Amino acid sequence: MRTATAPLHLHRARSLDDALARLADAPDLRPIAGCTDVFVEANFGTLADRRFLDLWPLRDALGRIELRDDRLVIGALATYTDVLLSPLVRERLPILAEAAAAIGGVQIQNRGTIGGNVANASPAGDTPPVFLAVDAEVVLRSAGGERRVAYGAFHTGYRATARRPDELIVAIEAPPVDGRPFFRKVGTRAAQAISKVVVAGVRGARPAVAVGSIAPTVVRLPETERTLSRGAGRDEVREAVGREIAPIDDVRSTARYRRTVTANLVDDAFFGDR
């Protein structure tokens, strides 16, 4: 580990109120849930923070997956394993289970949380495209109260979000899905592979397409969606995808690969016979 751990300070949250009060007092306090992202920073020696707030003790309160007013509510501290074992997720949002199964390996699935994946705001994160495609909402709470942010407004830039430092994500809420959802992740191996391209969407009256790993944040493809909803053919749809995304070359993939494969995946989802 390249970051020295001795000077680090950890406070274990006793309750949600305790956690929110501490955050209100000390905005430099960094929340940690499963710590799977934060640990990577520590290992690379890029971890700047010194004071941490451990949310793991709040799993009872914030780790639940339930149905409220016909909306699927996923507690921020629900792990991928919780998602995989949840019959509600299987029934209401099976693509979230597909995404969870594709994340890291079993150890990461046991520790990594949905709230952490969303808050971490990596453009290559695997659950954001799912939430974006189904018009989910992020539920944020601070000592001052609760507010909701539409998923499309949550990721504001590269690794930047609408969350204020004194707020915690408490849940992600997904409305019922109107249509047949799909999810495809293209990594390089069966486990422990960050996505080269990740696509989620809904096939139905109002087609939705959300793509990760091709822009500074996860993005919807509105032009592609419009093209799809007016019943255009596959070539036109592929062209729309091509116009709408401008991926870059980086260590995980090339722009050309990402462009081609995003078009292939959208094509396959809406026109394929798989």
Partner 1 sequence: MRDVEKSWPSLADARHLGKRIDRIDGPVKVTGRAKYTFDVNRPNMLWAKFTLCPHGKAKVLSVDVSEATRVPGVVVAKELPLPGDATCHWHGFEVAVVAAETEEAAREGARRVKVEYEVLPHNVVDDTTDVGDWVDEGRSREQGEVDEAFASADVTVEGEYGCPIITHCCLESHGSVVEAKGDAKLEVWPSTQRISSIGNDFANELGLDPKDVHADCQHLGGGFGSKFGFDVWDKACAAIAEETGRPVKAMLERDHEIMVAGSRPSAYAKVKVAARKDGTLTGFDFESWGSGGPSRSGALRMPYVFTEVPHRRVHSNVRTNTGPNRAWRAPGHPQMAWLTMAAVEDAAAALGLDPLELFRRNLAATDRPDVYAEELDVAAGLIGWKEKWEPRSAKKGVVRRGLGLSIHTWGGRGHDSNARTTIHSDGRVDVECGTQDLGVGTRTVLAICVAETLGLPVEAVRVHIGDNRLPPSGASGGSTTVGGISSSSRTSAVDAVNQLIARVAPDLEASAEECAAAGGRIFVRSDPARGVAWAEACALIGQDPIVGNGRTDPELMNSGVGGVQMSEVEVDVETGVATMVKHVAVQDCGTIVDLETAESQVYGACIMGITSALFEERVMDPVTGRCLNPDMEFYRLAGIGDVGELVVHMMQTDAHHGRGVIGLGEPPVISPLAAIGNAVANACGVRVPRAPFTPRNVLSALAKGAAR
Ligand X SMILES: Cc1cc2nc3c(=O)[nH]c(=O)nc-3n(C[C@H](O)[C@H](O)[C@H](O)COP(=O)(O)OP(=O)(O)OC[C@H]3O[C@@H](n4cnc5c(N)ncnc54)[C@H](O)[C@@H]3O)c2cc1C
Residues that bind ligand X (CB under 6 A): 30-38, 40, 55, 76, 103-104, 108, 111-113, 115-117, 119-120, 125-126, 168-169, 192, 194
- From candidates 188, 204, 243, 246, binder to partner 1 by CB under 8 A: 188
Rounded CA separation 101/5 (Å): 31
Residue closer to partner 1 by CB (options 21, 42) is 42
Q: Look at residue 272 and give the partner it binds from ligand X, partner 1, none, a contact being a CB closer than 5 to 8 Å depending on partner kind.
A: partner 1
DSSP letters of 78-120? -BHHHHHH-HHHHHH-HHHHHHHHTSS-HHHHHH-BHHHHHHH
Nearest distance in Å: CB 185, partner 1 = 10
Nearest distance in Å: CB 129, partner 1 = 16
Q: Could you tell me how many helices (H) and strands (E) the chain has, helices first?
A: 13, 14
Residues in contact with partner 1, shown as a per-residue x/- string from 68 to 107 under the rule CB under 8 A: -------------------------------------x--
Beta carbons of 36 and 108 less than 8 angstroms apart: yes
Subset of residues 224 to 263 that bind partner 1, contact rule: CB under 8 A: 251, 253-254, 257, 260-261
Residue closer to ligand X by CB (options 126, 135) is 126
Backbone angles phi, psi at 192, to 5 degrees: 50, 50
Beta carbons of 219 and 131 less than 8 angstroms apart: no
Residue closer to ligand X by CB (options 83, 240) is 83
Nearest distance in Å: CB 226, partner 1 = 23
Provide the pairing of β-strand 155-157 with 160-161: antiparallel
Using CB under 8 A as the binding rule, whether residue 209 contacts partner 1 is answered as: no
Q: Look at residue 214 and give the partner it binds from partner 1, ligand X, none, a contact being a CB closer than 5 to 8 Å depending on partner kind.
A: none
Subset of residues 121 to 180 that bind partner 1, contact rule: CB under 8 A: none
Classify each residue of 223-244 as buried b or exposed e, where b means 16 or more C-beta atoms within 10 Å of its C-beta. Answer: ebbebbeeeeeeeebbebbeeb
DSSP letters of 175-217? PPP-SEEEEEEE-SSSSS---SEEEEEEESSS-EEEEESSSSS
Q: Look at residue 47 and give the partner it binds from ligand X, partner 1, none, a contact being a CB closer than 5 to 8 Å depending on partner kind.
A: none
User: In the complex, which residues of this chain contact partner 1 (CB under 8 A)?
Assistant: 2, 4, 105, 184, 186, 188-194, 196-197, 251, 253-254, 257, 260-261, 264-265, 267-268, 272, 274
